[in-house]
């Protein structure tokens, strides 16, 4: 596993074998969306599970509420349909979801057969940082995550390992 800053990562993907797929791995509020904004690059397509969820549920202020009203199987089906479409187009992609388990990462990774595969691990959050970021998010756009979600997702998180067959495993530095 290698450590990279955002700027170092930008240079890496500029020189990287094409096409590539980047699986973002991290808890909610760990900086996945911020990272994508910092890349400011049009050389890739973004597949965002949250965007699909938001399209299914007009206004999300509480994700727990959204998930109780929407069948997550429908969201997953749409998510994987988009993954399949982009994988078939052979375009550079970023998969923006928590991707916390080996099983989930494998399910995504196997769809990108001829791609250079990168697992990008977001910085780990402690509970206080999660609460702080959640408050900031709520103040900015009225969206919040239940604190229990932090504990639930922390409990299922499996660290990315070399046996997962990524060409690169990178830990993002802030």
Decide: pTM greater than 0.85.
yes
Nearest to 161 by CA among 111, 102, 120: 102
76 or 60, higher pLDDT: 76
pLDDT average, residue stretch 45-65: 71
In the predicted structure, residue 70 carries a pLDDT above the cut 90:
no
Q: What is the mean pLDDT of the chain?
A: 87
In this prediction, residue 59 carries a pLDDT of: 53
Of 168, 171, 153, 14, the residue nearest 97 (C-alpha): 153
The C-alpha angle 136, 139, 145, rounded to 5 degrees, equals 65
Per-residue pLDDT tens over the stretch 97-126: 999 999 999 999 999 998 999 999 999 889
Q: So what's the pLDDT on residue 62?
A: 54
Residue 63 is predicted with a pLDDT of 56
Q: How far from 3 is each of 13, 35, 102, CA to CA, in Å?
A: 14, 15, 20
Q: Indicate the domain borders of the chain.
A: 2-172
Domain at 2-172: CATH code:
3.40.50.300
Residue 42 is predicted with a pLDDT of 65
* pLDDT at position 58: 60
Query: What average pLDDT does range 157-169 have in this prediction?
Result: 94
């Amino acid at each position: 596993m290698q450590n990279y800053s955002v700027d170092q990562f930008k240079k890496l993907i500029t020189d990287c074998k094409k096409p590539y797929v980047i699986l973002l791995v991290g808890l909610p509020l760990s900086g996945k969306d911020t990272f994508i904004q910092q890349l400011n690059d049009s050389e890739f397509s973004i597949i965002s599970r949250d965007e699909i969820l938001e399209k299914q549920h007009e206004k999300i202020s509480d994700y727990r509420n959204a998930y109780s009203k929407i069948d997550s199987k429908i969201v997953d089906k749409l998510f994987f349909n988009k993954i399949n479409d982009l994988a078939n187009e052979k375009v550079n992609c970023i998969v923006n979801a928590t991707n916390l388990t080996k099983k989930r990462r494998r399910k995504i990774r196997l769809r990108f057969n001829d791609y250079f595969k990168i697992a990008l691990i977001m910085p780990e959050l402690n509970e206080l940082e999660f609460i702080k970021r959640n408050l900031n998010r709520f103040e900015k756009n009225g969206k919040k995550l239940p604190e229990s979600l932090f504990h639930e997702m922390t409990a299922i998180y499996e660290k990315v390992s070399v046996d997962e067959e990524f060409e690169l495993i990178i830990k993002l530095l802030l």
